[in-house]
Amino acid sequence: MSTHALNIKRLHKRFGDTVALDGIDLALRRGQVLALLGPSGCGKTTLLRCIAGLAEVDGGEVHLDGQCVAAPGRHLSPDDRHLGMVFQDYALWPHMSVYQNVAFPLEMQGVKANARRPQVEWALSLVGLGDFAERSPGALSGGQQQRVALARAIVAKPRLLLMDEPLSNLDKGLRENLALEIRNLIEELNLTAVFVTHDQHEAFALADRVAVLQHGRLQQVDAPEALFHTPATPEIADFVDAGTLLDGRLDAEGLALADVYLPLGAACGHRGEVSLLLPRRALRLCAPEEGLLCGRITGRLFQGEHLSLQLTLADGRTLKLHAPHAPERGCQVGIDIDVSALRAWDAEARLIDLMPRADVAASASA
């Protein structure tokens, strides 16, 4: 048996002149949760629909548990793919009770009424709605309706759970709770799942792996931590809000950034314009006369565990960082930089190895 629950090879999908998917290669092991993340129009929903069988593919293949379910000239219907689906708008049948909604996939599979009952009760109790079976969906809150949709998606023990923006219709507190519940449920049932989102927090909270799509192409597929700490391109860094992106200039010995010059190891090699990522963890507040950079606090948000700060440099560019304490808005502060945590790309978005000089790295992290 294939070790991959899902295997996508060179997938192409067009709508007229629009190339929605442009050669997608993606594999997912059983028990893993994958988030498809990217800006509006990048092809996330189209990819999910090709996996589900709701759209036909123009090129490439989709395999589920080693079985080819989609290729040019081959298209297994959604019902024959044994998937569970959860949609953004819940998509419950309003004229049916919660029980009937959840029982529906079993009914479609021809499971007899008395055999359906224990499975429906099992699925409803898993999502905490054991006492709501006779209600109509219209008499439930948004979060409860999405739990019913989840129960309906898992009741027939699908080989793959697909979710399209499952949390985006819910308010923030509910979103976080339901994300945790879905994650627990997926682990408890050892499900394999793919979900679409445009929200990196949702992707990071739920997924083992995150696939970033742009213009129908996969840009990076990685664990959430790796994506956040080592984004492959400046666009991905920007999209996952990994820190501040600034332009700089490298020469043989260092990096010119804003109005300062950071000496680097001689081995740096590259010269010319670079895009620089300054992760929040690379920046530390200090006294104005002690910092490598100097700036003014122009944004200061209390966020419980830390303050989220925006600093404006003399040339008007801004930096984002977190700090446990900070002076008030308008105050001048110094900013120490841990050069070893910076990430830089050349004009062709190729990653450059910055070699911090030992003395600079030491002073920045002291």
Ligand X SMILES: Nc1ncnc2c1ncn2[C@@H]1O[C@H](COP(=O)(O)OP(=O)(O)OP(=O)(O)O)[C@@H](O)[C@H]1O
Backbone angles phi, psi at 207, to 5 degrees: -100, 150
38 belongs to the binding site for ligand X (CB under 6 A): yes
| Candidate residues 1, 17, 40, 330; the one interacting with ligand X per rule CB under 6 A | 40
Structure tokens at 337: 């930089």
Using the rule CB under 6 A, is 284 a contact of ligand X? no
Distance separating alpha carbons of residues 26 and 9, to the nearest angstrom: 7
- Determine the number of helices (DSSP H) and then strands (DSSP E) in the chain: 9, 22
In the complex with ligand X, the residue whose CB is nearer, 19 or 286, is 19
- Evaluate whether 4 touches 28 at the Cβ level (below 8 Å): yes
Span interacting with ligand X, options 41-49, 242-250, 251-259, 267-275, rule CB under 6 A:
41-49
Q: Is 86 in the site for ligand X (CB under 6 A)?
A: no
Q: How far is the CB of 321 from ligand X (least distance, A)?
A: 30
What's the CA gap between 93 and 102, in Å, rounded?
10
Site string for ligand X, 193-212 (x = CB under 6 A): -----x--------------
Single-letter code of the amino acid located at 38: G
For residue 50, state whether it binds ligand X (rule: CB under 6 A): no
Select from 37-45, 79-87, 217-225, 232-240 the region that touches ligand X (CB under 6 A). Answer: 37-45
Task: List Cβ neighbours of 211 (8 Å cut-off, separation of 6 or more).
Answer: 26, 34, 35, 36, 37, 218, 220, 221
> Residue 330 region, left (φ>0) first, then alpha (ψ -120 to 50), else beta?
left
Q: Does 93 bind ligand X (CB under 6 A)?
A: no
Residue 43 sits in the site that holds ligand X (CB under 6 A): yes
Q: Is residue 158 within the footprint of ligand X (CB under 6 A)?
A: no
- Residue 42 contacts ligand X per CB under 6 A: yes
The Cα 39–Cα 51 span in angstroms is 20
Q: Using CB under 6 A as the criterion, which residues of the chain lie in contact with ligand X when the complex forms?
A: 15, 18, 20, 38, 40-46, 198
